[in-house]
Structure formats: structure tokens, C-alpha cells
Structure 1
Amino acid sequence: MTLKSLLLGTSLATLCATPLLAADDDLLVFDYSGFEDPAFHQTYLEKNGDSPSFAFFGEEDEALQKLVSGFKADVSHVCAGSVSKWIEADILEPWDTSKITHYADLDANLTGESVTTDAAYFIPTDFGSTAIAYNTDEVPAEDVASLQVFQNPKYQGRLTIPDNVDDAYALAYLATGVTDWTTATQEQFEAASAWLRAVHPYLRTYWIDPGELSQLMATGEVLVSWAWNETLPTMVEESFPIGFQREAAEGSSLWLCGYVNLKDGPGDEEKAYDFLNAFLDPSTTEPLLDAGWGQSNKPALDALGEEALVAAGLGPIAAPVLAQLPMPIALREQQSEEFEKIKAGF
């Protein structure tokens, strides 16, 4: 799954019990900072005369704890890797797909049974890729032909990966030969963990948000990063010599996020559908792509053309892809605990 920017580690990472951006009092959306952009819900504005109210979070486990503790909102953004845990927490109710205007247009590659389950608790809305971003002036293409570049002594101290458990383990599973983490065994988890632990001494830092990563690369402190695709158009716009290698021998990752319908939300249920429909509307497709995110409305996204997708780091590739789909809750908790140990040097 920053989403985004996804999983932003800014001052907004502190969860708020009250809306940070108040507008329509009939709908409160719990979201990542950046997704309140009116360009992402134009048809909601046209129908209701104002944007929804928004409250923000920076990390999904914290968001879940806030909701479990009694914070009330109507709709929340969440990435696929966390869906099982949120369902288990009994804070969701299924969407009525007959009320979702573009439900039939959702990309079938993003709506497998492992994402939607029998009941549509999670509607995929946005996605992106995670791959190797690198300085093309300093790093030859052959050096990033494999994910093992993250253990290349040549770049020790000038490498970085996200401070995000899902992205880190997506990298580690790929690097150790796993392309489907939903069926990962204990042995495969341990191998991925060992790989991350071996990478740790080579890293300059674990980057938190895309702005930080861009700065690290722009100053030359970092030459190679495991990065979200939005880094590519952002740094191209800044005339930085950026490469985005999605076709390393072991592959790259695809993250997927969407919206869930929170149980006992205090707002207007019909406006929740208005918001979701606005996010999936073709009028939202180009603004999302401009921000670095793909939209799950396949006909609308395809209409922008392959060139636009390639420029955003979302074009078709001929390499393995690990989709960051929901995984067993016990495995995700293991990964979270182990990743904290690894970052601390243990």
C-alpha cells in the first residue's frame, strides 16, 4: 500500500479526536493527510455543496486503536494489508455494492477474494508501486538489476528504505523469493526478517515521508531507495536524474488502499456513498494520477493512456509483483514486532 502521501510521518501523525478540517457536518472521513483535496471528491461537492469534514491519522495501527477506543467517524481510508485486522476488531460494516456507481468498473486485479472477502468491507480505490528509486548519474543500471543492491557495500550508508512495516517486508519477501505474502510460511517470514536485519547496517536511515526521501536524494545523501512511485514524477519535475527500477530480477511491489464503512458512524450514511462514488468517479482519475496515485476505476485510468501511467511509475512491467494484499493477522503482528527490533539494531 501513502496512500498516501501514504503513511505520512508528519505532525499530522498524531491522531485527533476532533476533525482537523471541518466542512460538511454530516460526514466525517478519517484519512491520510492530502486526501482531503477537493479535486478527489468533486461530484460530492456538486451534490452536497461542501466537502466532508476530515480527521487525519499517520499510521494505520494507531488509527485502529483510536477507533477501538471510541473515536467516531463515518468512513476511513485503510490499506489492504490492514483490512483483516480491522474486520477482526468489529468496527466495520459492509458496503452495499449496489449503491457504488462504478463498482463494476473496479480493476479485477485489485478486487480478488482476498481483498473484498465475501462481504464488501473494503472497496479498493487507489494504488501505487514500490520499487528502486536511484540517482542515474551515480548509480549504473546494472547495479539496480537486483534487490540485493540493498546489501551492496559500494552503497553502504547511502541506502534507505521506508519506515513502514508493509513496504519493508514486501521488499524482504521479494528479495528472498516470495511473491505472495498471503501464504508466507514461518520459515519464509524468518528468512525475510534475516534479510532485513542484514540490510540494516547498510542504511543511512529509514525514510518517513516522500518529502524527506526527495530531500535525501536531492542532497546526494542517498543514492538508492525503496520508494513509492510518486517519487518519480516529483523528482523528474525538479530535473533530478531519477531512475525507477520496477523490473529488478526479483520484482517490485504493488500497494493497494481503499475505504471502509465504519460501524455506527454518526453521519449521513448516504453521504458516505456520495463520497466513495466521488472518489471513484472519472473526474478524480487525473488529479489522483497527478498526485502519484492510480485509481481503481480501470476504464477511467486506462483512458489516460499508457504514457501517462509510465510517467507516474505505474505502467505495465515484465517482472514479478508482490501485491500488498491482506495477510493473516498473526503474521502481520509478527512482522510489526520484528521490524521494530530490526530498526533498533536487534
Structure 2
Amino acid sequence: MKNTFKKITAIAAVSLLAVSQVPAANILAKDGVATQEKTTAKRPSIYGKSGIVIDAKSGKILFQKKIDDRHYPASITKILTTLVAIENNKDLYDEVNFSSYVVNSIEPGSTHIGIQAGEKIPLIDVLNAIMLESANEACNGAAEHTAGTTKKFVELMNKKAEELGCTGSHFVTTNGLHDDDHYVTARDMAKISKAALENETFRYVACKSNYYIAPTNKDKHGKELWNHHKMVKRTMYVYDGVEGGKTGYTTKAGGTLVTFAKRGDQELIVVDLCAHGYELYEDTIKMLNYGFNNYKTIAPFKTMEMVLQDDAYGFLTTGNKLSPYKIPLNHLKDVTVMLEKNQPASNLTYKCKGSKYTVSYNGKRIGSVKLK
């Protein structure tokens, strides 16, 4: 028996959605992400020209501000770069051989870690350099290693964005260095970040404060990497639950910031576009507070035994014909339901009929899990 619908989202007494295990495009909403539901909570005022908070598990939008406006992303582009590199390389410990073009093609004065032409660095280390130190030459090196050329790699980036349901974004560079035709929307950046977080290797790379690259053929000392995200480093801005994220800045983009935060079973993604300096972190804290203070995530089956010992959840109704001691149910621990804070979980009801397990709130169906 396998779970093909992994996450369930509920807000108020309205018809809500069930989300497939991985592909964001399979969310049961017309545009790939559900629209924000009405809530009585006071919406935060943010400096950023665009901002969004989503539930990382379902993609449900909890807060939005001009999320379909186009902006230059700067280095938050590297979230997509890292995800595409991970998905298109079987061996993440294979060495990247940095060409002269790769290390010399970035803008003078832009962020780098001093990689030299001919230097060989394992790809996993290169990915850490991308996400933590925002190294622009590392992006081009990973791209050339993955696709042969940076141009071909960018094609993979745009293809991946399209697969994720992104409709307002276009990528030209691997690293977010400015190009007038390189832009994103907050909605699309949230979709990309959600897909990235679903990849365990990406989580390993993005959700740490520091990393060390061992000595190479060109660098006998190695390289110490530190995450630029101040909330991840827990320096000026400390926030309970922050796991990772990515910073960005160019003169034309202004500041950009993506942040992942988790408390218990609830995980949020925040995107802030076109703000400056401290404004990015103040916006992010406001948006995270809004999400955590006004919504809660319920994992109704988290404490369930590996196999069903009784029929408390209605699995053994007429027609199932299954032994109560042979039904593997561990996968249901990943099923979650999102509610507004003032909605009692006791109003949730569960019913199993045939191969479908339905969850309702106040008697109205909000989602289902298919059983095989």
C-alpha cells in the first residue's frame, strides 16, 4: 500500500486541496498553487516590493504582496542553479575542473571564492560554495560540468522552472548577475524553493552555517565557507526555527532574500524581493511571524503504529477485506493538515472507503490520500 498523495492543506470551512508527493505542478489548483484564503489575521506591512509566505509542504499561500510582479532576483537564482545541478549529476563527488572561461567570465568585483583556472573541486563542495558563499565562478563551474556549457545549463534551468509551473520568470545567467532578461516573480521563486527543499541533498547543502573545502591541486590551505544569510548564521537576526535560505543583491535588483523556517511539523518558505539591507530581515521576520502565529500544522497519524492495531481511523470498513495486522501505515506519518490557529483539530474527521482515505473539516472534504 503506497501513499501517492502526501500532504493535505485545510483553511477554514472551504473546499481545499491535496498535494502530490513531489511535483508542485500536480497541486489541485488551476495555477499550480492555491490562492490565499480569507483570514481575520492582520497582514504585515513589508518594505519589499513583492513578498510571499507559503506552506513548504503543500505550497499553500499564507501571505502575498504583488507576487506576480517581475523583479531581478540576483543571487537567489542560485537556489535553482543548485537544484538543477543536483538533479542532473549522478555523482556529486565527481571533480569539477574549472576552465579559464569559467573563472574569468564573471563581473569584476562580484562575489567569488578565488577558484583558479585548472583547479579541481568535488561537485558537492562547489554546490556548498554556491549556496553559502554565493560564489559566482562556482555557479559557472557547476554549469559547465553538468551541461558542457553555461548556455546549455541555463536551458535546463528554464526547463525546470517551466516544469514547476513557473509562468512569470526567465533565466539568462547561472548566478543571477544582472541581465535585463533575467527575472523572477515571488510566486515562482516560492515554487522553486519548495521543489528545492523536497530534495534531501539540497537541504544538506543549503541548511548549514559553514562548510570547509579541503585543499585542492591549486589551493594547499583549503577554503572555509560561511553562509551569507544572517538568520542562518544567527548573528544580528536570530529567529527560532530558521533552517536555511539564500541572499541576493545587485544594484538593479536591490536586495533579495529566501528563507526556510521550521517549527515542529510546520515549515514555511518566505521570499522577499526588492528591499534593502536590514529591511529584508525585518520583512522576513514579519512574514514568518504571520505564518507561525496564525496557522498550525496537524500531523494526525504521526504517532500511529507501523501497522494498524485497531480500526480507530476506519480502515477496516466493509469492502476493504484487509488484515489489521498486515496493513503498512508508516507512510501516513507524512500526511499533514494545515488549519488556522483558532480552528480546533477536533473538527477533523477521517474516513476510508475503498482505495481512498478522505479527510474532512466540519463535515466538508478538504483532501484525500490514495491507498494502493
Short-chain TM bin: under 0.3
TM-score, with length taken from structure 1:
0.28
Max Rg structure: 2
Q: Which structure features the higher share of helix residues?
A: 1
TM-score, with length taken from structure 2:
0.26
